[in-house]
Amino acid sequence: MAVTIYTATGCARCKIAKKYMAQKGVEYRDLDIKAEGKDEFNRFYRENRKSVYRGPDGIEFPVYFDGQVVKQGLGVVVGHVSSPKVAGFFGVGLLHGEWVDGIHISQGDPEAIDELVEALAYLKSAGMKFEMDTDGRNPQVLERLLAEGLGDVLIVRLIGTKDMYAAQGYDLAEVEKTMALAAKFPEYRFALAVRPVVRPDGAVEYLKPEEAGEIAAWVKEATGGNKHPFVLTPFDLKAAADERFAGLAPLEAKDLFIYRSKARAHQVMAAIA
């Protein structure tokens, strides 16, 4: 079935997506939801409402629909058109203007690195900048993006201590390589959410301040530096689906002071977001 792309009047991101589709030889119908496409979009929305993503600013445009799948947002649409194999790298983002976010380095298939580079290179040529994130996997992807000049901002979302990473099956050498590469990005930060942890004996408690210090020390060891942007954030319990966390009291920013002190012993720029 032919592709329909729903756009909003004056949406520059929609124009960038359409230009890429034309370059790739993808035939599409272009419908402006404020003009000729208004009635059709309203019908489409009512029929596919549960599949349509709404961000803080409303429906994310462009909306791509091939009769089966709905794809939304500049990064997601360009990634999908480049190759469905890169889909794991892209999620719908929240940033606008010249930014594309929702680029999850650790969640994509590293075998699709060429297709990812192609999609990002196109977006870069259109004047876009990237905010990417990673949990430490796929350092080879980061290395390639740095070599191609496609790295702008990288957030390394730390999930725990070495032991916690190992328990979850991560390759520690990969995570350490990611940490070292992160420091080469034009802008980057290490982000640690002070989250609930399920201990080996089944006990559920927050990450300990000493463990935050241990993680900050690991970043120092992997990067050879102690002056990296290192941000501590309270974990959003309301957003957690894990029922084991239900009995925990939410942490407030002031509860993180002790975590910051422990982290600052190894990363002097540690701060609470």
Partner 1 sequence: MSTSKSIEEMLFPAELRYSKEHTWVQATGATLKVGISDFAQDQLGEVIYVELPAEGDELDQDAEFGVIESAKSTSDLFMPISGEVVAVNHALEDEPGLVNQSPYQDGWMLEVKPSEPAQLKDILSAEDYLGLIKKEA
Site residues, partner 1 (CB under 8 A): 8, 33-34, 38, 41-42, 45-46, 49, 54, 57-59
Kindly tell me which of 45 and 99 has the beta carbon lying closer to partner 1. Answer: 45
Strand order in the sheet with 3-7: 28-32, 3-7, 63-65, 70-72
Q: CB-wise, 73 or 136, nearer to partner 1?
A: 73
Cα angle value 62/123/132 (rounded, 5°): 90
Q: CA–CA separation, 133 vs 131, rounded Å?
A: 7
Residue with tokens 């009995």: 247
Instruction: Output 50 or 199, the one with its CB closest to partner 1.
Output: 50
Q: Which is nearer to partner 1, 24 or 34 (CB)?
A: 34
| Shortest reach from residue 9's CB to partner 1, in Å | 11
Smallest gap, in angstroms, from Cβ of residue 32 to partner 1?
11
Between CA 214 and CA 228 the distance in angstroms is 15
Closest distance to partner 1 from the beta carbon of 46 (Å): 6
Q: What is each CA distance from 140 to 90, 181, 182, 262, 266, in whole angstroms?
A: 17, 10, 12, 31, 27
Q: Which is nearer to partner 1, 46 or 238 (CB)?
A: 46
Q: How far apart are the first and last CA of the chain?
A: 47
- Shortest Cβ 95–partner 1 spacing (Å): 17
> How far apart are CB 11 and partner 1 at their closest, in Å?
11
